[in-house]
Structure 1
């Protein structure tokens, strides 16, 4: 049997529906605008992004290569600023952070969420205003909290009773009075993978609404004059496309605001509804409309507060994936094409789980195309795999590539702007790839690729 689509009589016909590979697309060369960067197209057969031919990018910068469409990312920042006008939009830096991204945020008027001292250091290194930074994390160190207090970050989101006491002590020692928010676990069961659902009670983040821990946290903070409690925070998970969960969380937080007013005669002025909004990774995926989401969340909070006679708090949202995810792609070079008779073809690339661990970590799905040329060959059921010593080193489990694919061809994987570089590793001592930004037919390196010298640096 050749490397073409498999006939109905093979082992795939015996599989359960959820185990069967996807149907071959009608056009293997198509660049779906709902999935690929906004400036993507094919020019003379080759994929172009930001006016740059991917063949030129690979020749100049090598592969694997992370590529960000600057116009796409900046336009999505502006989309959020417009949809949530009058509210605060803080980009969730964990999705992908580097100095250049911070500069774009500053240009477009967004704030920034950081989850570690390292992320804070990146922002401060280019002069990002600390008052537009929020510090997150379920186990912030004394050093991280001390620096945040010293530079005057805008908000600290407290995550435990111990942290309330820790921040209070440090604030007293440093003569500061930080604005703090309580991360509330609202009990919303988000429709996403277990590893990225964050609002159910049985997990590490936040203080439970259901058990009364969140209400107790309010009491403890209000008892500390060195802390200024300004609001509540919620995050229900990641890659969520059903907005119902956000609406439930917003309603429950607004109800807690009412209870705080009744018990303490305190009106909290802010409400942070987090992020986690999903994007399209494969055909058929739907992403929430940002304006509809903004209007819906504001309407719910306004309605609950009006019914309780409370002023509407200032809203904050924390998008990450939806800002940088669609604008990023990863380029690879094909090394081997191995046909496993009657099953599928394994296409090995020069990267893998060290530059994109999301598939191995929680079964992420992706779209990829032959990028250096178009092809009219028949579809070939493929599995895109890396070069690491793991059977689970898979970037895309099942999809179709042209049957004339050969070593040396370029493969582009779409929607890799979020969490791929952030989660990258040096497994098997592979250097982490460079990150380039493309715009107006030019490219520039924004994160230098690692070398073998970098891998050896620090070893004694």
Structure 2
């Protein structure tokens, strides 16, 4: 009989977790497959760590969000937020579902064009548009959302020698009772800056003011904030019609709708506290319908949701490198993925599930990544069974922002696969290699 390794005794705080109806602590079940594909098979064939996306879940999320709005309002259009996840395979699923493209840079604009999105179905947002990018958007008849006066003046100058009058909107920032106020983007509603920008657009004679745009923040949990924002947008639209004889064709309410991830420091899990998309849809559409527009003059409602549509369609598979005891007695796991791969671990307490059967006894643990950096903490505290080196885990709801904000730092960025509705596993982004990382370096010979 093999002698067990000695571990010194320590005092452990009992953490039962949130009680269920049987007055016992909840614990995660093992997650051994995703959309019918075994986790172990995915890791064996594509390596660890590995991002996994579910086409089935993406399509279901999109259709549910669209249904929430178009069952309440007659004219609705979604525009996929490229910055949330701009892998082409992801974008094209949304475009197949009927979504336009919403981009915030020339790089994203070029991706949308390459993905076959018609120019008149691309919304060009963002504060950093270059003159040549604005000209391209004008030539493609894209919707240009003006962020500041410098951009407005640049666009007017570009159009001075053109017969084409681009279709534009202004981005409006406002006080909706949320903190922090996102006043760094667009023109302010309360101090009259937005109305001044509208006046300059009309007076220029070079631009067509066809829309108004706002994006009040991110991961907004207060439904009433959208009611306030919609009221102020409708007020501007009505004034454009009555005071300037310039009817507004669309109101773009942006995104910011939360997923059911759990924010760091939250008292309760996100699944129990996040409003549903129906709650947001009811607040926005009811406000527009009750504002006083004639039925024939209702503006098109555009939504630029990202996180809500893809967060829970993404998973990160990873492997335990080591387990250890910290100086205070807590157990810690070292994983093969870190904050450079899972950027949203700075924002959320992601759900982490073992990928194999486990002992039912749980213990509070800290999850670290493999980086030689003290900030590389995936979870400060999470209840898990004892996992040994070589065991695998599944991190949930990672589809938004991780595959656009990840960094090649110390380790390679992993591959990404999508499980198609048919069950076929498709590699949509290969894992990085040394040759890929060094491809942009130039070889320089130095002489003594």
Query: Normalising TM by the smaller chain, what interval?
Result: 0.7 to 0.9
Give 2:412's aligned residue. 431
| Aligned positions of 1:11-410 closer than 5 A | 26-30=25-29, 46-85=31-70, 86-153=75-142, 155-190=143-178, 194=180, 199-201=181-183, 204-282=184-262, 283-285=269-271, 286-306=273-293, 311-360=297-346, 363-371=347-355, 373-403=356-386, 405-410=387-392
Question: Does residue 453 of structure 1 match 2:435?
Answer: yes
Kept in 1, the 8 Å contact 2:255–2:303? The answer is yes
Kept in 2, the 8 Å contact 1:4–1:378? The answer is no
Give 1:14's aligned residue. none
SS of equivalent residue, structure 2 residue 32? strand
SS of equivalent residue, structure 2 residue 197? helix
Instruction: Compute the displacement of 1:175 (Å).
Output: 3.8
Q: Take 1:391 and 1:416, find their aligned partners in 2: how far apart are those partners? A: 22
SS of equivalent residue, structure 1 residue 427? coil
Instruction: Compute the displacement of 1:130 (Å).
Output: 2.0
Note the residue ranges of structure 2 that are not aligned, 5 or more in a row: 1-6, 263-268, 443-448
Q: Take 1:47 and 1:359, find their aligned partners in 2: how far apart are those partners? A: 22
Give 1:39's aligned residue. none
Give 2:445's aligned residue. none
Select the structure of larger CA radius of gyration: 2
Instruction: Compute the displacement of 1:4 (Å).
Output: 9.3
SS of equivalent residue, structure 1 residue 342? coil
Q: Take 2:230 and 2:159, find their aligned partners in 1: how far apart are those partners? A: 30
Give 1:35's aligned residue. none
Q: Take 1:415 and 1:6, find their aligned partners in 2: how far apart are those partners? A: 30
Q: Take 2:338 and 2:59, find their aligned partners in 1: how far apart are those partners? A: 28
Q: Take 1:381 and 1:442, find their aligned partners in 2: how far apart are those partners? A: 37
Q: Take 2:323 and 2:9, find their aligned partners in 1: how far apart are those partners? A: 10
Give 1:12's aligned residue. none
SS of equivalent residue, structure 1 residue 190? coil
Q: Take 1:233 and 1:385, find their aligned partners in 2: how far apart are those partners? A: 41
Q: Measured at CA, do residues 345 and 259 of structure 1 come closer, stay the same or move farther in structure 2, by a change above 3 Å?
A: same
Instruction: Compute the displacement of 1:68 (Å).
Output: 0.4
Q: Deviations over 1:297-346 (max 9, x none)?
A: 1111121234x999432211111001111100111111111211435222
Q: Take 2:244 and 2:153, find their aligned partners in 1: how far apart are those partners? A: 20
Q: Structure with the greater relative contact order (CA < 8 A, sep ≥ 6): 1 or 2?
A: 1
Instruction: Compute the displacement of 1:5 (Å).
Output: 8.8
Q: Measured at CA, do residues 453 and 254 of structure 1 come closer, stay the same or move farther in structure 2, by a change above 3 Å?
A: same
Q: Take 2:361 and 2:197, find their aligned partners in 1: how far apart are those partners? A: 61
Give the total of aligned pairs: 420
Give 1:37's aligned residue. none
Q: Take 2:189 and 2:306, find their aligned partners in 1: how far apart are those partners? A: 25
Kept in 2, the 8 Å contact 1:257–1:268? The answer is yes
Q: Measured at CA, do residues 46 and 232 of structure 1 come closer, stay the same or move farther in structure 2, by a change above 3 Å?
A: closer
Q: Take 1:50 and 1:452, find their aligned partners in 2: how far apart are those partners? A: 32
Instruction: Compute the displacement of 1:292 (Å).
Output: 3.6
Q: Deviations over 1:331-381 (max 9, x none)?
A: 111111121143522211112111122233xx322111111x121241121
Kept in 2, the 8 Å contact 1:437–1:445? The answer is yes
- TM-score, with normalisation over the residues of structure 2? 0.87
Note the residue ranges of structure 1 that are not aligned, 5 or more in a row: 9-19, 31-44
- TM-score, with normalisation over the residues of structure 1? 0.85
Kept in 1, the 8 Å contact 2:316–2:395? The answer is yes
Q: Deviations over 1:211-258 (max 9, x none)?
A: 211011001111122211012111111112321111111111112223
